[in-house]
Structures are given as C-alpha cells and as structure tokens.
Structure 1
Amino acid sequence: MTVAPAANPRKTATIRRLGPVDIAVLNAAVLEIPEAVWDAENQSKPNKFEVLDQTRHIVFRFVDSPRDWRGSHDRPLWAAWRALLEPVLAQAVQAYGYGRGVFPRVMLARMPAGGVIHPHIDANPAAKWPHKIHVPITTNPEVVSFFGGQEHRFPVGEAVEVNNLGPHWVRNGGATDRIHLIFEYYDADQPDPDWLAPLLAVGAPR
C-alpha cells in the first residue's frame, strides 16, 4: 500500500514572518524589466496553471519533476540575476539555520491591478516538503492574500513563509501591480520522508 504524502512538519500551518529583507537593489532591477521580457518569460514558464489567471511569472529555478523537490535546474535568466537574488534569498531564510539549504524554485510573480489568483492548494508532492516563502517587491494596500484561514496584507521587503498546502488565494483590488519574489527552501540534511521512495518507485502520475 502506498503511503499518502504528508507535509513536512517544519512547514508553517498558517504564516511565519521571517523579518525585513534588504531589497533595494533587487527592487530597482525588477522595475527596469521590459514588458517584452515579462511576456516572453511568462509564455515559456513551466508553471502554467489556470488558477494563476493574469499573473505573469519570470522563473529563475524550477523542479525537474513535480514529484521530487530534490532535483531542480537553473532556467536561462538565473545566471544574469543570481548576484541580485542570492543575497535576498540568504537573508530571508537566515532564521531557519540550515547548514545546507536548497532553493528548488525561485521566481518573480507579477499580478496586475484587478488581478486574482483563484483559491487552490499546491497539490503536487514536490510542494509538500519545502518551505514556501514570499518577499513582496511592490504592492498596494488593496492587495489581500488569504493563507491559513485568514486574510493578510504583506508589506514590501518583509519575508514571510506561507502555508501553501491549505486553500489560499490572492486579490489585487488596487490600481498598481503586485510583484513578489516567491521561492521554496528546504534542508538538504533533513531525512527524506518515508513516503518519497515508494511514490517515486511506483511512478505516480503527474
């Protein structure tokens, strides 16, 4: 009998505020990204889910398989953006204290004014183990995020881990775009869950 995937017990069940992060240099670079780059990168992104609606993404790193977070790869823009992203990523995850932390997915998500991300859960097994972390780059007071059974307004430059395994949604009721740096993070020294090997052995459907 196959064991059903269970969440990493280290993940938050609601939200976990990780503190302020210095995004000044990253913010300036993000605001300079041409519309043509946003459009081209969004067109080629691997996370084409209907619930994302009009939200566009620039994906820097992504998992090789939705079943296993331990394998990931750099996408074309990672090399150019790595020096800007790595200091922000490192500062955001400092509180975890992991000796060998890994970032399997790293992306920018741009939600237009009036945009929505419809209620959903991150259902693939690769999403059950890593921490899911947001760092707002731009926002406005009318951006509402629902995680852990409550509505939240996340301020610019404050890293926060969210519960991606419960129902969540986002609504931008303001007049400006919302741009978040979104990434996953896990401890490479943490033992793999008991359910992973059987799941991979049976070739669970994607």
Structure 2
Amino acid sequence: MLLDQACIQIGDVDISDITRFLKQLPDSAWKANTYRQNTYEVHKQTESVVLYFKTDEFTESNDSLLSVVQPLLAPIFARFAQYYGYTRLDISKLMFARLPAGGEIAEHRDSAPIFARYHRVHVPIITHDQVHFYLGQELHQLKTGVMYDINNLGLHRVINRSDTDRIHLIFDARPVKRIHNAKHHLFIMSPNNSGSSLVSAALGDCKHAITLPGEGHYIAGFAGPNPNRDNSHFVWSQFNTINKLRNPKAYDWQTIRNLWSGAATPQSDDASIFVEKSPCNIARMAMLAEEFDDAKFLFLIRNPYAMFESVVRARRDLADIEKLAAQHVLWCFEQQALNLEQCQSPHALIRYEDVCDAPARTAQIIRHFAPEFNDLDFKPPRWVKGQQSALENRNTSQIARLSPQERAVADKHFKPHASLFAQFGYLV
C-alpha cells in the first residue's frame, strides 16, 4: 500500500509463542512452497512458510499449519486492527519469510495490483543489527517484536550482513469492506430516470437481498457528496457536483459502510447480497469496486428521449433546462460506455425496455449473473416513487409529451452522437 511515509512503527507485540512454534518447525517446512522464490526473481535467496496467499488469480491455504498458528497470531492482528481503527480484517497474504545469513533481496517495488490495496506488515521474529532494510535510500533496522507497516510500493531492498538467518512474519491486511455479512455487493449502475427504482424494488423483494430504505447517498449522515446539497438533482453532471462525485477525497467510505450497515435490512436469515441504486454510482464505479468486497455491477440504460423528458419535467425550475437535460443524458451514455469498457468486476447490462417488455427473459439474465436472485420476478405491481403500478413501458407516453421545441433541442445534442446511442440499441 502507498503510505505517506516509508515505514510506520505500529508498536511492540508479543512474539514468544510464535518463536517457540518456529523453532519446532522442521527445515523441510521452509522448502515446501517455492512459489514466491520461483515467481519473483528478487526473492530467489529467501525461503518461506506460506500460510495463506491470495492474488487476483488464485488463493492457496496451508490449513493444517494455519489452524495451529492462527491463535498465536490473533493478538498481533488485534493490535494492527486497533491501531488503524478497523473492525475486521481481510488478509490476503500470511507467511513467515527467512533470509539466510549473507543473503540479499534486490531493490524492487511490489507491483501487482493487489499489493496497492493492502497494508504490508512486517514483524521481525529473529533479526540482527547487521540486517539492513532499505526503503528508498533510507536505512531502517527493524527490531525484534515490533510491528511495522511498510510502503511496499516504493523501492526497497534487504541485505543480511549478519551470520544469523533473518525471519519475519509478513502479512497483507486491510479492513473487511462489507455490509452486514454480504457475500456480494450489487450496485445498480443507472442514470437517473432510467428505471433503477423499478429494478431495485424487484431485487429488494428477493429473499437473499439486503436493502436500504432508499438511495444510499440520501440517507442522513452519508459522508460524501450528493446532488441535493447542490440543488443539482437530475442534472448533476452539468454542475460542480460531478467534480465532487469523482473526487475520492470527498468520501469517508468507512463511515459510509457503517451507516449503510446500520440502515440495511436483510430480507431473510439467508440474505447474502447487498443492493444499492444511487444514480450517481455511475460517476464513482472505481471507488465502489475498491471500497466494497466482491462488488458486482448491474448496468441499466433507457431510451434517451424518455430520459430527457423525465429530467425536463422534474427540473422546470432551472433556466435552460432543455439544454441541461440533453447534455446530462449524453454525459450519462458516454459514462456508461466508458464504465462498461473499464469495468473489471463481474457485471451485466440490461435496458429499461427489456425489463418492461421481456421481464421473464431479463430476470433470467440477472439470475444467471447473480444466482442469489433466484426468486426474482418483475411482473407483480410494486410501489415505485410513491405509487403502486403494474409493470409498464412508459417510453411512448413520455416521449409524446415533448413539445416540438424540446424535441429539437434533444435532437441537436443526440444526433451527432448516433453511434454512441446505437451501441445500446437506440436510434436517434
């Protein structure tokens, strides 16, 4: 993880039980797993006892050793979590690493993407004054029984000039980023006025869903930007709100997770997938993927003229609303295309028209994407935006409300981007 300093000394920890455990290990245990040495050139001189190792591609676990050593490590994990104020920890790597006397780890950066998301923690178990740990050009002599958080994204190297093998406990950790005990977090990635309330209501009726009482960014205490604060609702991409929405520093995600956990309602004892539908999510996809474990994204889009009509009707209090609405709709389509191109998390795309006109087939698409919604049914009447109504495609009636002048403004903005709208199956 990138830190604002090379090394943070967290404090002393008791390593006496761990030291006894390591002394009992046969030498063969250090040679059993050579993945690290064979994969990373800089670690060829090291040996390791790998207890748990997770990458973006695979996970391995030494369950027999882990069951023995985990109780010994619990106080160390607790101290680390206490230091940073974390409630629960997600561990991606847990190992003991041995650098033989006279050995060296060449200068390098830990470059795999997963390393940027986790603290890299070292606890020296056996070391020596002549073990030199360089972070950049600065020499650090890490002390036995002291826990350190290391900036492993910067250049670092180790030289063991002593006649003693150096052994460190090394683990990568970050806070668990989950709402309740959700196995997955599903974010509906939908512009406003595109059917997200309908889709969210249907998903929220499923027995495995964990739901909020409304859009997450409008829950009191939300520690981040929302359009109501700027009077930019429905056209927020055309105000300074968009810059706030895209700024990671504008959010306190730990506070947001705590807030949503307190407000969320599991639909059954078996509920396992959290559902959230704030339209502004389309401006912060990367943050959601980072801040919620096992995130999935359900992209939703709607006929641009129907979206345009909804926005114009909702914000007639704004001057030049037709232009603002057309620009906002265009921005939303451009952003959805970009999100779909860049999304590395599990995702699916549906359209408002598909939900209304082919509900059974669309439900099957979602069930295939997220099996937790095995009881999803779009057909029953539902309360959406304060009224109960049957499933109905309202595009035709809404587009018919547009005046010739309003339609002309929409055409002026949409037609130069016909290929963009065609990507989603819409003719302009």
TM-score when scaled to structure 2?
0.41
Aligned to 2:152: 164
> How does 1:116-155 map onto structure 2 within 5 Å?
116-155=104-143
Counting matched residue pairs gives: 189
Task: Provide the rounded CA distance (Å) in 2 between the counterparts of 1:167 and 1:131.
Answer: 16
Task: Provide the rounded CA distance (Å) in 2 between the counterparts of 1:28 and 1:148.
Answer: 33
Aligned to 1:50: 41
Report the CA distance between 1:39 and its aligned residue.
Answer: 1.4
> CA 1:95–1:114 in 2, change beyond 3 Å: closer, same or farther?
same
Aligned partner (choices 22, 29, 33) of residue 14 of structure 2: 22
Partner AA of 2:131 in structure 1: V
**Do the aligned residues in 1 keep the contact of 2:109 with 2:152 (CA within 8 Å)?**
yes
Report the CA distance between 1:13 and its aligned residue.
Answer: 3.1
What secondary structure, in the 3-state scheme, does the structure 2 residue paired with 1:200 have?
A: coil
The Cα offsets for residues 47-94 of structure 1, whole Å up to 9 and x where unpaired, read as 73110121101111111426xxxx855333222321222222222442
Aligned partner (choices 52, 67, 74) of residue 61 of structure 2: 74
Structure 1 ranges of 4+ moved more than 6 A: none
What percent of counterpart residues are identical? 33
Partner AA of 1:122 in structure 2: D
Report the CA distance between 1:187 and its aligned residue.
Answer: 1.7
> CA 1:129–1:175 in 2, change beyond 3 Å: closer, same or farther?
same
> CA 1:119–1:18 in 2, change beyond 3 Å: closer, same or farther?
same
Partner AA of 2:138 in structure 1: Q
Aligned to 1:37: 29
Aligned to 1:60: 51
Aligned to 2:344: 200
Task: Provide the rounded CA distance (Å) in 2 between the counterparts of 1:99 and 1:47.
Answer: 35
> CA 1:117–1:96 in 2, change beyond 3 Å: closer, same or farther?
same
**Do the aligned residues in 1 keep the contact of 2:38 with 2:44 (CA within 8 Å)?**
no
Gap regions ≥5 residues in structure 1: 1-6
Rg comparison, structure with higher value: 2
The Cα offsets for residues 126-182 of structure 1, whole Å up to 9 and x where unpaired, read as 000111110000001100001144111001000000110011000000000000000
Task: Provide the rounded CA distance (Å) in 1 between the counterparts of 2:50 and 2:18.
Answer: 15
Q: Which has the higher contact order (CA 8 A, sep 6+)?
A: 1
Higher strand share: 1
What secondary structure, in the 3-state scheme, does the structure 1 residue paired with 2:133 have?
A: strand
**Do the aligned residues in 1 keep the contact of 2:120 with 2:171 (CA within 8 Å)?**
yes
Aligned partner (choices 99, 107, 123) of residue 95 of structure 2: 107
Cα RMSD of the aligned pairs, angstroms, is 2.6
> How does 1:174-189 map onto structure 2 within 5 Å?
174-189=162-177
> How does 1:4-15 map onto structure 2 within 5 Å?
11-15=3-7
